[in-house]
């Protein structure tokens, strides 16, 4: 008989399922906001890096000076990768494209050795690139440094116009999600308000009354966070069917961070919302609970 009495009732099961589903949907919305925000940040970094830097070397520069200059550029803290194109190779490719030899006509190779630089995301801003270009121009053997300042300026102005409206919209959705999750927890506690007051009337300590509710709220949050993470992964898998490159930024480390974030947010709101709801009913008089 004791075992049968400990079984959850149908109403309790319904409440648990409803609460978990409600919290999962809310955390799914938060998870999607995190995914969209990360994708936006990743695409912004990639877009900035498209503003390449080209370093032209002096003609007939000493081989040792050229090698030292190339090494200094390759190890520059703002450089992510380099590609070197020597003048003779560039001349050969240009002659093949034109269909005639201009070197025989001129008597010398008119092109200079050049190195194409892909900068790191941190160095791909107007201010950082200006500093890097000044540093590169001072390297012995370098004739000129060319970078797409206008393109980078357009990218930055576009980002500035879009970022704050998008951040505002994300905050609105986040507040709505938090309010929905808080309301879901409050309804769960509301259904057991008489039990809370009864335990208080028989002399139970407030901490002893809160403990099982907090434990339950923690479980709801963790389970909902796991469900939301699985749903986000499912959505990403569906998106991958349309565009295989969509999942490239989501490394195992990023996905692990997303899982930890959803579990942490679920646990945090499960605990805090439950604590506020229980405290609210502990302060109410018995005649106001109906």
CA-nearest of 218, 168, 173 to 31 is 173
| 184 lies in some domain | yes
What is the pLDDT at residue 3?
Answer: 42
Task: Give the domain range for residue 255.
Answer: 10-46+162-288
What is the pLDDT at residue 182?
Answer: 74
All residues at 6 or more sequence positions from 62 whose CB lies less than 8 Å from its CB, including other chains = 141
pLDDT digit string, tens, across residues 129-184: 888 888 998 999 888 888 877 777 777 777 778 777 877 877 887 787 777 777 77
| CATH number of the domain bearing residue 65 | 3.30.70.3040
| 121 lies in some domain | yes
| 173 lies in some domain | yes
Residues 271 and 180 in one domain: yes
Residues 219 and 178 in one domain: yes
d(CA 188, CA 40): 36
| 1 lies in some domain | no
| 156 lies in some domain | no
Residues 189 and 110 in one domain: no
CA-nearest of 278, 208, 266 to 232 is 266
Reported pTM:
0.68
What is the pLDDT at residue 98?
Answer: 54
Q: Provide long-range contacts, Cβ within 8 A and 24+ apart, for 97-103.
A: none
Phi, psi of 156 (to 5 degrees): -65, -40
Average pLDDT over residues 15-24: 80
Residues 168 and 266 in one domain: yes
pLDDT digit string, tens, across residues 95-125: 555 555 555 555 445 567 888 888 888 888 8
């Amino acid at each position: 008989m004791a075992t049968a009495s400990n079984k959850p009732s149908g109403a309790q099961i319904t409440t648990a399922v409803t609460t978990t589903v409600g919290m999962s949907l809310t955390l799914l919305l938060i998870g999607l906001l995190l995914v969209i925000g990360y994708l936006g940040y990743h695409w912004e970094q990639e877009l900035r890096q498209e503003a390449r830097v080209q370093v032209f070397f002096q003609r007939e520069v000493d081989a040792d000076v050229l090698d030292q200059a190339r090494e200094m550029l390759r190890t520059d803290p703002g450089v992510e990768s380099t590609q070197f194109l020597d003048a003779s190779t560039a001349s050969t490719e240009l002659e093949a494209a034109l269909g005639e030899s201009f070197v025989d006509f001129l008597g010398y190779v008119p092109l200079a050795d050049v190195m194409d630089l892909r900068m790191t995301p941190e160095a791909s801003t107007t201010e950082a690139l200006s500093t890097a270009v000044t540093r590169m121009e001072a390297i012995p053997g370098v004739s000129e440094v060319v970078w797409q300042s206008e393109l980078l300026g357009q990218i930055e102005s576009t980002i500035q116009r879009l970022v704050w409206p998008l951040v505002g919209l994300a905050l609105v959705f986040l507040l709505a999600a938090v309010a929905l999750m808080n309301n879901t927890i409050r309804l769960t506690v509301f259904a057991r308000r008489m039990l809370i007051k009864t335990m208080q009337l028989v002399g139970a300590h407030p901490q002893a009354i809160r403990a099982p509710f907090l434990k339950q709220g923690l479980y709801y949050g963790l389970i909902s966070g796991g469900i939301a993470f699985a749903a986000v992964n499912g959505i990403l898998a569906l998106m991958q069917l349309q565009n295989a490159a969509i999942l490239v930024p989501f490394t195992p480390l990023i996905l692990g961070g997303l899982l930890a974030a959803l579990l942490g947010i679920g646990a945090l709101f499960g605990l805090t919302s439950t604590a506020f709801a229980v405290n609210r009913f502990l302060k109410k008089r018995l005649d106001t609970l109906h």
